[in-house]
Chains A and B, each alone.
Chain A
């Protein structure tokens, strides 16, 4: 029983660790910045070169992609440019074709990547004849404003900026923990989440302990046969 128990227990750490590792090593996009504007409503309709721009946005880390929300009635040819907020010079750009479908998130890579600390304005244009509905909300930041074809509006489009390179979840944990430490207890820091991650790893041990103890308690006493044991009054147990 003891040997069988240990063999069975090996499945636990191996299974969990393999799944964890596979899942945590897949590369993924990391948001460098989010405007915080939910994609709950229509912010602008873009068609035939109409352009929506918003800023100024100071980006905290390097950017290599722009995320927007919306949909078009057909294949929308959407272009994005990231410009210097003061001089108006184009720092990076990119474009994509968005097929028709329900409203959703779209990521457009921009080249070259933009260095951290830049203050930028992000512009979105639909180059073709398709009406592209750009989603957003009412303004969430008083200093950031959206203009459509140069005219100030009372809404803003949802916007996230992605880091240039993809990272695995494992590699991105320091970033995640430094963001998660905010708006908690004042004493919480990234160390809290590292400690919790360690504690999670420790649960493999506590589960193993529980299983071994339960298996040991269930081991039949060799001096008793199963038919000797008193029948449980529920009639469910065997």
Chain B
């Protein structure tokens, strides 16, 4: 029996193999620094690796070093990365082998370009350092190579995060739905094979680690609720939530759901156990509180903000609750006459941002796929979403309701935080900031939705349903890669 539980389920092994292959292809296919903000994230990681210091967030006015090192700057110029960002059709990456050879000669010259003279003001500097410490392991894999070797090492190292995200999706469905392998496969496949997740996971970006930590937190939260808060699971949940906060400040949105899971798990215990459980669970909470407080304290000592702040523009407007509601309304619903215009995309922002950018828009949001792919994706998500809601409405039982509240709180807290931040950015004159990838932290819930529907349909259709999920994911993956090849290389 023990042997059976320890063996990697073949279904999971097949899934992880598939996700890893797609992750490697994404990592190597996308041109250097052509993922969102990769220039800044690479510069942050390089400065940490070379100088073991954090870059400053804002220019101080005094003469400061450049954001990127000479090494990165030479590589960027050679391949045309920064000039081509946002313009892949007119300014694709350099294709001339002579330029590549000239770059290599310069890189291997004596002395080689400096890798440690960066560290200037960096827009990514508001992020805590955990992801960058992780990424630096990849950086050292090709330490003696070129800047491109180090960049691609970091990307390939990130593929591990994509595979772990698929694993976490599998575990999440297993915890919530029981040992239903087809449902687990569907959930894990969505978590690992949604093209935007594979693309972002295999890029140099803290989203890579944060998304995986959120999916693990969702799994552990479900464990805590279902298993009545075993101390070991509570510690693990708190530690993972702390790691998520130390990766990106967005993860503060995870904390209400974590608190709810701990409370629900504690409440699930027999009344006579609750008092005795308070102390060990409180100690478990230290795994969350101590690292987060330590980071906040360190941030203050270093003059850094522990949360992302929105800079005020020249003419900031005051916060207005009715205006905020109007903004959120227009994000999801057609604008009603009399509302101040907040829409900035051609269509409904929920569709243009969450769906299109959240599933398959690559590069610096400048490489879309064909419009019919988004429409088909919307239809599939709509059908599965309605089916999931139908089945959820039929759920009864205390644990099931706690689980629904837990997942809903995770999603709603993230959405609330994102919309609040964007609204503040708008009234401060900084413009719209939301991108579809910001929803990836709750990809586990999306996967669970698919797994839940697969588990609820009659057994004779489950195989076909799970197959359909995988077919669609593989199809959209391949079509996405085709779009990237056409945009950058043809």
Contact = CB atoms under 8 A, between A and B. Distances in A.
B336 interface: no
A196 B24 contact: yes
A9 interface: yes
Nearest to B489: A176
B177 A182 contact: no
Contact of A210 (B14, B25, B488): B14
Contacts of B83: 36-38, 137, 140
A151 interface: no
Contacts of B455: 237-238
A209 interface: yes
B178 A31 contact: no
Given A8-B467, A11-B471, A40 B452 contact: no
Interface string A144-174: 0000000000000011100000000100110
B15 A210 contact: yes
A235 to B, nearest CB: 3
Contacts, number: 248
**Which one of A159, A220, A232 has the highest number of Cβ atoms from chain B below 10 Å of its Cβ?**
A232
A215 B184 CA distance: 11
Given A31-B490, A183-B79, A211-B466, A200 B149 contact: no
Majority DSSP secondary structure for residues of B touching A: helix
Interface residues of B, number: 88
Contact of A233 (B13, B75, B399): B399
Nearest to A215: B463
A90 interface: no
Given A31-B92, A184-B148, A186-B146, A176 B485 contact: yes
B91 A158 contact: yes
16 contacts: A12-B474, A16-B474, A19-B478, A19-B479, A31-B490, A36-B80, A38-B87, A180-B488, A184-B28, A185-B142, A188-B28, A196-B25, A200-B478, A210-B185, A213-B9, A214-B11
Interface of B: 9-15, 17-18, 21-22, 24-25, 28-29, 31-32, 75, 78-80, 83-84, 86-87, 89-97, 99-100, 103-104, 142, 145-146, 148-149, 152, 175-182, 184-185, 222, 226-227, 395-400, 403, 452, 455-456, 459-460, 462-464, 466-468, 470-471, 474-475, 478-479, 481-482, 485-486, 488-490
Interface of A: 1, 4-5, 8-9, 11-12, 15-16, 19-20, 23-24, 28, 30-31, 34-40, 60, 67, 69, 105, 135, 137, 140, 158-160, 169, 172-173, 175-177, 179-180, 182-186, 188, 192-193, 196, 199-200, 202-204, 206-211, 213-215, 217-218, 220, 232-238
